[in-house]
Chains A and B, each alone.
Chain A
Amino acid sequence: MKIRHLLGIVILAAAIVPSVTISLMLLDRQYQATQDSMEQELNRVLFSMSQDIRFKFSIFSTNFKLFSSERYLIQALDSFLFVSNAHNSMLQFVEQTPLVSSLYLLDAELHVVDEVLGDIPSYESSQLLADAKLAVASGLVREKRQHLIEFDNDNLVRPSRNKQQLSTESPYGAAVLMPLYLHSLQEGLTREPAGYILAILPFDVIYKVVADNLGTDEIIEILHGDEVIVASPKMKLLELQHDDHMVERDVLPLVSDYSSNQLEYMMQLHVSRSARMLQLQESMNALTLGIAIAICLSVLVAFLVANWLGTPFKQLSEILKRFGQGHYSSKGEKFKFSEFEDVRHLLSEMGSTIRMQLDSLHQKNEELQRIDDLKGEYLTKVRALNEQLEARVAEKTKALSETAAREGRSRQILQSLQRLSIELQQCTEHGEIIDLCLNQLHELFDDVPVALLIGVSRASQHQFKSLGLTSADEQWLLAELQQRASYKQQSLPETLVNQGKRFYLFDLISRTHNFLGVLAFQLDEVSPQERDIVRVFAKQISVITETIQLTSELELAARTDELTDLPNRKAFNESFDRCRHILERYPTNHVGIFVIDANGLKRVNDQFGHDAGDQFIKAIVQILLDSCRKTDQLFRMGGDEFVLLVQEGTVASCERLMARLAEQQDQHLVLTQQDGSTKSIPMSFSVGYASSEEVGINHLFHRADERMYEAKDHYYKQHPVESDSLSKTRLS
């Protein structure tokens, strides 16, 4: 809290509090005065309404008295010829008298002679007529006096609603009865009235006279005792908000100088409190506005005074603020008050002392700063050294980790190699080797795509498989490897590249340096260590592959005739046994056997040497191979004897083969002799066959052999020179 602010508040409070207090008192007085005037005004309104009705009724009463001496009325009672004139006069009276809704001209017995805006049947049956008769009989209806009768009959007052536009529908009314005399000018005689004139004053119309003077927030009702005779239609709304209105009452008398009696009613005025309060509010608003302006002016003056008094405090505050910020000079600023001037001097002297002490402190600070800088440099160097040491430690740690990883890897590879070596030794076919190797390598080198080709041998065709290669890469690689493998002596390139993909190749070489196959990896780069590992693998595979090849070739040699490369007797026996087993399982299948013996081999050997005999045999073999089907198998049983094992060998098919062989008989082999001359040697063979369709399988060979011999016999009978061959023994 600042002193000048406090000072300002005190001055403001001193200005406002009295103003507000006075204003509130004024407002209260104003409110009271308005309330009082409101009540007075209500009383005035009621009084003026009451007076208005009295006045209008009085006018009516006077006019009615004058009208009662209208000559047409009196003449109409006497002569029917005047009735229409009386009617016109009555009509005129009703039109000119707002309080009256209808008039009845009555004869001495109160029968209707004529009426204006009346309802004769309703009148004749009304209580009003009874009351009027009673009044006449009782002598209440006197000369020149008007007798008032109240009634409750909606039919009698209804014409008033047509005459004037009324908002209420009350059945109540007041009737004014006045006697008529034929000779009205003659005073002092006791006479019987010739008739009566009756005026109907509905309370709807009386209400309208009253209501015309009402304000929009005022509602009136007329009561007879406690019974409401007529009330504004707005009364229903008012009943809903009964807390919001004030009520005043006053007497409403119907009486005049000419009436013989008086009817008395009550008027009840309802005024909407909120609507009245609006007026009060308006005057309060005006007063409030005046007070607000006065307070504003007080505040303005208080503000100016507070500002004038507060300025030195503000200046002093600013000097102190600057002092706090290090500005110790306050020369040139003069205060209005001497007390503040003394303070300013004191501050100025204190400022000089402080400045000197600050200079000394500044020098010490500079020295401390230099020391601090040196300390900083030293710390920087130590930090750099630490960082170097940490880097070297990290480097060493990484090298050690890599070494450990390599050791682990080597162990894994060795274990893998060991496992592969064991498993390879159990393989008997190239297919098994390939599957085993590909799986092992693929696993070892973390799913690197790998392929293996094992080359052609005498015993088998080349075999190729891959793992992890796309089919396009696989086809491309196979074509490349086949092409390069056909040049067995040529060394393979280290890598092949296809569409950006690099393939590393490792050849499989036998101990005799023969090409066995290729191992391929799809890798971007291969480390020397990995290369070594793969080479060890390749070596392992090479050894096993070579072993299998050698074994296969040995087995092939045991079942092959060396001269003709045809399968030999051992092979025939194995094939025939297989046929036998098949026929036992499938008896509807048939097999045929042809036993063939070349004619004249001995003579060729003898005449032209064994080389010629070998050529002779090869030529015969060629003829037989040309004649038989691919499914048929030709075996050399030894010397010049051959067996043809015919699949699907029914009798018919054997006969057709026999016919084809017969067509090939008697061809000639042209021999070139050592002297260069040529010699044509006739070639023929004896054939006997049998089909399982006609002979049991166990007797099949025997039957064919017998028939061959029969053919042989036949041949030698035709060629006796070559009968040496008869010395042959039967094969079976």
Chain B
Amino acid sequence: MSIKAFLSVLLLTLSVSAKSADIELWHAHQAQDFVVHLAEQFEAETGQKIRISAYKTSRVKAELLLGAKNNVLPDIIFVPSDFLGLYHELKLNRLDDSWLDPAISAGAKDTAIVDGKLFGVPVIQGNHLMLYYNKSLVDEPAATWQQLFEQKDKLSSKGVRTIGWNYGEMFWFVAFLGAYGSTPITNGEVTLDTPQMVAALRFYQSLGSRGLIDPACDYNCAQKDFVERSTAYSINGDWAYADLSDELGEDLGLAILPAIDDKPLKPFSSTFTLAFPRVMGDSKRQAVLRQFARFVQTEAIQRQTYQHYQLLPTNSIVFNALKQSVSGQQRLLLQQLAMTNPMPSEAAMAIVWQAMAMAYKRFVNNGYTPEQTAQYMQQVAEKELARFMASR
């Protein structure tokens, strides 16, 4: 038995002896089975039960903030890394490196560091958008938006709409902004009122006005249409791969997001991290939580993460082995990841998302020009960010 194995057994023994009340975990990850799997595996290993509460993605942040206000937060939250920017509002515990597996990839670790402090444990990475298509409707996936427009008439003749995604959600829009070489926050500054934003808005609007996509369709509608083969393409996150594969089977095709002429789309990538609100000062409970954090980073669990749920591991050993071994469509997941912008984790990102959404509504409903919209985004973001920072 090696020292490592001995330590593990010792830890497990300690954990069993330190078994306490059920651990509460809140999350909004679409691959709910994956989260349940982690809990079950941990319980099988340690006997420690974890109670899981799944929230809608759109509501989880508000619920956490409200929970924090009312001091009703869970032990663990499993959230995208940009939530960590609200570490003050969510009352997150600052962590040290003992919470991290030594094999964690440096990039993944960076997403969990805000203001120079570690607030989360990255479990899976990627979390980026991909182009999905239905092989029974499309022979060769489009590499550019121009090609998509060219396929539109042929698909219409079959009664099939070309493409669908959560058109009104800014997470998708940011990929187009990335194609024009910009991100909402650059070097810690809000950069929304830019020519790149204006160009991206104009192009994004044209997709709806030229009938390529139904602007009224939200996330559920887009996924439903794609599964029911009413749309030929869909843009969705890597988190949806398992579900879509279950529905479409062999017909599901995966491709790199279409480029705007020679400009490839650059979606945000991030990590899903475990974070730990300061609920209790109980050191024993903290130990169990850390034990869980280390457990999900182990090679075995990280391997299963990919093998069972096609989610990219943060463990660099497993990830590197995966990069070597993967082929076919799976390789595209990694290729697309290589073409992403990392999502900033600072608090400003949460404000920026809101500001972008508000301004975009005026762009769509109230006839704002792209220039006015970009200006309004910047204006709201700066105002609300100042108010937010003042309230901290």
Residue among B62, B350, B351 having the largest count of chain A Cβ atoms under 10 Å: B62
Contact partner of B366 (CB less than 8 A), chosen from A82, A83, A88, A119, is A119
- B120-128, B288-296, B316-324, B354-362 - interface stretch: B354-362
Smallest CB-CB separation from B387: which chain A residue? A80
Cβ–Cβ < 8 Å partners of A376 in chain B:
none
Bound-state Cα–Cα, A117 to B362, Å: 11
Q: Is A85's CB within 8 Å of the partner chain B? A: yes
Contact A81 B350 (CB under 8 A): yes
Cβ–Cβ < 8 Å partners of A80 in chain B:
351, 354, 384, 387-388
12 further A-B contacts with Cβ under 8 Å, apart from A82-B65, A85-B62, are A72-B62, A75-B62, A81-B350, A81-B351, A81-B354, A83-B354, A84-B353, A85-B58, A88-B59, A119-B365, A119-B366, A121-B366
Contact A81 B358 (CB under 8 A): no
Q: Is A120's CB within 8 Å of the partner chain B? A: yes
Bound-state Cα–Cα, A72 to B61, Å: 12
A sample of 22 cross-chain residue pairs with beta-carbon separation below 8 angstroms, ordered by A number, consists of A75-B62, A79-B65, A79-B388, A80-B351, A80-B387, A80-B388, A81-B62, A81-B86, A81-B89, A81-B351, A83-B354, A83-B358, A84-B58, A84-B354, A84-B357, A85-B59, A85-B62, A88-B58, A114-B358, A119-B365, A120-B362, A121-B366
Contact partner of A75 (CB less than 8 A), chosen from B66, B86, B354, is B66
Contact A81 B65 (CB under 8 A): yes
Minimum distance in angstroms from A350 CB to a CB of chain B: 106
Contact B61 A81 (CB under 8 A): yes
Interface size class of A (residues with CB under 8 A): 10 to 19
**Chain B, 49-76, CB within 8 A of any chain A CB:** 58-59, 61-62, 65-66
Smallest CB-CB separation from A118: which chain B residue? B365
Bound-state Cα–Cα, A114 to B358, Å: 8
Known: A114-B358, A120-B362. A82 touches B62 (CB 8 A): yes
Q: Is A71's CB within 8 Å of the partner chain B? A: yes
Cβ–Cβ < 8 Å partners of A81 in chain B:
61-62, 65, 86, 89, 350-351, 354, 388
Minimum distance in angstroms from A162 CB to a CB of chain B: 10
Minimum distance in angstroms from A91 CB to a CB of chain B: 11
Smallest CB-CB separation from A88: which chain B residue? B58
Bound-state Cα–Cα, A81 to B381, Å: 11
Query: What 0/1 pattern do residues 28 to 63 of B give for CB contact below 8 A with A?
Result: 000000000000000000000000000000110110
Cβ–Cβ < 8 Å partners of A121 in chain B:
366
Bound-state Cα–Cα, A72 to B353, Å: 17
Bound-state Cα–Cα, A470 to B353, Å: 135
Cβ–Cβ < 8 Å partners of B62 in chain A:
72, 75, 81-82, 84-85
Bound-state Cα–Cα, A77 to B155, Å: 46
Smallest CB-CB separation from B380: which chain A residue? A80
Bound-state Cα–Cα, A7 to B110, Å: 123
Interface size class of B (residues with CB under 8 A): 20 to 34
Smallest CB-CB separation from A119: which chain B residue? B366
Contact A120 B366 (CB under 8 A): yes
Cβ–Cβ < 8 Å partners of B350 in chain A:
81
Cβ–Cβ < 8 Å partners of B388 in chain A:
79-81
Cβ–Cβ < 8 Å partners of B89 in chain A:
81
Cβ–Cβ < 8 Å partners of B351 in chain A:
80-81
Smallest CB-CB separation from A120: which chain B residue? B366
Query: What 0/1 pattern do residues 87 to 106 of B give for CB contact below 8 A with A?
Result: 00100000000000000000
Minimum distance in angstroms from B58 CB to a CB of chain A: 6
Bound-state Cα–Cα, A730 to B388, Å: 190
Cβ–Cβ < 8 Å partners of B86 in chain A:
81
Minimum distance in angstroms from A89 CB to a CB of chain B: 10
Bound-state Cα–Cα, A328 to B66, Å: 128
Bound-state Cα–Cα, A79 to B58, Å: 16
**Chain B, 99-154, CB within 8 A of any chain A CB:** none
Bound-state Cα–Cα, A403 to B258, Å: 142
Query: What 0/1 pattern do residues 263 to 302 of B give for CB contact below 8 A with A?
Result: 0000000000000000000000000000000000000000
Bound-state Cα–Cα, A120 to B353, Å: 21
Query: What 0/1 pattern do residues 58 to 87 of A give for CB contact below 8 A with B?
Result: 000000000000011001000111111100
**Chain B, 333-392, CB within 8 A of any chain A CB:** 350-351, 353-354, 357-358, 362, 365-366, 384, 387-388, 391
Contact A71 B357 (CB under 8 A): no
Cβ–Cβ < 8 Å partners of A84 in chain B:
58, 62, 353-354, 357
Bound-state Cα–Cα, A79 to B86, Å: 13
Bound-state Cα–Cα, A15 to B16, Å: 111
Bound-state Cα–Cα, A156 to B351, Å: 29
Cβ–Cβ < 8 Å partners of B357 in chain A:
83-84
Smallest CB-CB separation from A122: which chain B residue? B366
Bound-state Cα–Cα, A120 to B358, Å: 12
Query: What 0/1 pattern do residues 13 to 29 of B give for CB contact below 8 A with A?
Result: 00000000000000000
Smallest CB-CB separation from B56: which chain A residue? A88
Cβ–Cβ < 8 Å partners of A71 in chain B:
66
Minimum distance in angstroms from A313 CB to a CB of chain B: 88
Bound-state Cα–Cα, A88 to B59, Å: 9
Cβ–Cβ < 8 Å partners of A114 in chain B:
358
Bound-state Cα–Cα, A82 to B89, Å: 13
Cβ–Cβ < 8 Å partners of A83 in chain B:
354, 357-358
Residue among A72, A82, A85, A114 having the largest count of chain B Cβ atoms under 10 Å: A85
Minimum distance in angstroms from A552 CB to a CB of chain B: 129
Minimum distance in angstroms from B91 CB to a CB of chain A: 14
Smallest CB-CB separation from B58: which chain A residue? A88
Cβ–Cβ < 8 Å partners of B365 in chain A:
117, 119
Minimum distance in angstroms from A82 CB to a CB of chain B: 5
Minimum distance in angstroms from A124 CB to a CB of chain B: 11
